[in-house]
Amino acid sequence: MAPFLEVKNLTQKYSAGTPFEHTALDDVSFTLDRGEFIGVIGHTGSGKSTLMQHLNGLLKPDSGSVLLDGTDIWQDKKTTRQTRFRVGLVFQYPEYQLFEETVYKDIAFGPKNMGLDAAEIDRRVREATAAVGLDDALLTVSPFDLSGGQKRRVAIAGVLAMEPELLILDEPTAGLDPAGREEILSYIDGYRKAKHATIMMVSHSMGDVARMADRLIVMNRARIAFDAAPEQVFRHADELIKMGLDIPVLTRVFMKLKELGLPVEPVYTEKQAVAALCALRGGSADA
């Protein structure tokens, strides 16, 4: 069976044939399964955003292809259009893209474009509203009267209402306080579990991606530098730092502990750190 999504030898150049020619993606290949949570990291200009835009057909490959359930998304117009509904894209600061008179209309915009009937649109709007923890009472309010955090959730709900099988988010927690960040991340993971959807989250926050993702794709200079489980990726701490990336703070703590001579392996979440240190002290975690 074909993988859910397959990217094959994808290459993208900007301003090709001019002195400003710039290769944004250089022979990139990978596959995604249903239900995976993938974190994408890479510093500014590494090709992350270009990659995102290829996955739902906003950009057309210079060479290579993107296959959804084995079908090239550029095979014909109908397939490309369908792809845009099946792959949902939440851009950075999506709250700046709200435009409708009411929250309800804004969330309904996507499903309406899909040609769904009124009852189905209504079901989806309400389900998406609940999925991001917004109160139904806000549906009649103008989105511009909401707080920043609420606007962000309305914008995400607008994409969830299309019930995408692959949900791609660019920095969904940027500018939120720690409690707001946790909330958004838990809604995203809740959607993944409820719909067995695939999540691809672009983030600079190493702590967040390390905790949420089962797999990390690290972009560097238009190529994939690493594609592996977080524990494997963060083992390459020195290389990540050279690429201009951060590594989780706790990983740094453990690297230092190792340097000081304690028998520890690098960790990247607080849970792992606590378990490792308790084991080292001797006895179990509840000692």
Q: Is residue 279 close enough to count as binding other proteins by CB under 8 A?
A: no
Q: Is residue 273 close enough to count as binding other proteins by CB under 8 A?
A: yes
Least distance to other proteins from the beta carbon of 42, Å?
Answer: 9
Please list every residue from 60 through 89 that binds other proteins, using CB under 8 A.
Answer: none
Stretch of 32-40, 55-63, 169-177, 184-192 lying at the interface with other proteins (CB under 8 A): 169-177
163 vs 171 by CB, closer to other proteins: 171
CB 268 within 8 A of CB 248: yes
Q: Judged by CB under 8 A, how many residues of this single chain contact other proteins?
A: 43
Q: Is residue 149 close enough to count as binding other proteins by CB under 8 A?
A: yes
Per-position x/- string for 196-235, each x denoting binding to other proteins as judged by CB under 8 A, each - no binding:
--------x--x----------------------------
Q: Is residue 239 close enough to count as binding other proteins by CB under 8 A?
A: no
Residues 6 or more apart whose CB falls under 8 angstroms from that of 52 comprise: 40, 89, 168, 170, 200, 202
Stretch of 40-48, 59-67, 116-124, 231-239 lying at the interface with other proteins (CB under 8 A): 40-48
Name which of 185, 160, 187, 166 is nearest 106 in CA terms: 160
81 vs 223 by CB, closer to other proteins: 223
Q: How many CA atoms are closer than 13 Å to the CA of 274, on its beta-carbon side?
A: 7
Name which of 54, 46, 151 is nearest 94 in CA terms: 151
List residues near other proteins by CB under 8 A. Answer: 43-45, 92-93, 145, 147-149, 174-180, 204, 207, 244-246, 248-250, 252-254, 256-257, 259-262, 270, 273-274, 277-278, 280-281, 285-287
